[in-house]
Amino acid sequence: MDRIVITGGAPLNGTIPIFGAKNSALKLQAAALLSADPVMLENMPDLADTRFMAQLLNTLGVEITWIKETHTLRMHAAEIVSTIAPYDQVRKMRASFNVLGPLLARAGHATVSLPGGCAIGARPVDLHLKAFEAMGADIVIEQGYVKAAALRGLKGAEIDFPFVSVGATEHAMLAAVLAHGDTVLKNTAREPEIIDLADCLNAMGAKVEGAGTSEIRIKGVAKLSGVKHPVVADRIEAGTYAMAAAAAGGNVLLSGARFEHLGAMLKFLRDAGVRVEAEGRGIRVQRKLTDRMNAVDFETEPFPGFPTDLQAQAMALMCMADGVSRIKETIFENRFMHAPELARLGAKIEVHGNEAVVTGVPKLVGAPVMATDLRASVSLVVAGLAAEGETTVNRVYHLDRGFEKLEAKLQACGAQIVREREDQAA
The span from the CA of 20 to the CA of 237, in Å, is 9
Give bridge partners of residue 285 from the DSSP assignment.
252, 276
Least confident of 85-89, 136-140, 228-232: 85-89
What average pLDDT score do residues 8-20 get? 97
Tens digits of residue pLDDT in 318-372: 999 999 999 999 988 778 999 999 999 999 999 999 999 999 999 999 999 998 8
Verify that 225 and 245 share a domain, yes or no: no
Strand locations in 180-312 (E): 182-186, 207-209, 215-219, 227-230, 250-255, 275-278, 282-287, 298-299
Q: Nearest-CA neighbor of 242 among 299, 283, 280?
A: 283
- In 3-state terms the chain splits into helix, strand, coil percentages (rounded to 5) of 35, 30, 35
Q: Which of 118, 200, 319, 413 is catalytic?
A: 118
What average pLDDT score do residues 294-302 get? 97
Verify that 186 and 259 share a domain, yes or no: no
Last residue of a domain, one of 212, 230, 248: 230
CATH code for the domain of 190: 3.65.10.10
User: From the CB of residue 15, how many other CB atoms can be counted at a distance below 10 Å?
Assistant: 14
Report the pLDDT value the prediction gives residue 94, as an integer from 0 to 100: 79
Verify that 223 and 332 share a domain, yes or no: no
Q: Tell me the binding residues for UDP-N-acetyl-alpha-D-glucosamine.
A: 94, 123-127, 309, 331
Q: CA 57, 59, 61, 66: dihedral to nearest 10 degrees? A: 50
Q: Tell me the binding residues.
A: 22-23, 94, 123-127, 309, 331
Q: Are 202 and 31 in contact (CB under 8 A)?
A: no
Higher pLDDT, 174 or 116: 174
200 catalytic per annotation? no
Verify that 343 and 197 share a domain, yes or no: no
Q: Tell me the binding residues for phosphoenolpyruvate.
A: 22-23
Is there a cis peptide before residue 86, judged by omega within 30 degrees of 0?
no
Length of the chain: 426
> Angle at CA 373, nearest 5°, toward 272 and 318?
15
Verify that 103 and 242 share a domain, yes or no: no
Q: Are 378 and 4 in contact (CB under 8 A)?
A: no
Verify that 33 and 145 share a domain, yes or no: yes
What average pLDDT score do residues 127-131 get? 95
C-alpha atoms less than 13 angstroms from C-alpha of 346 in its C-beta half-sphere: 18
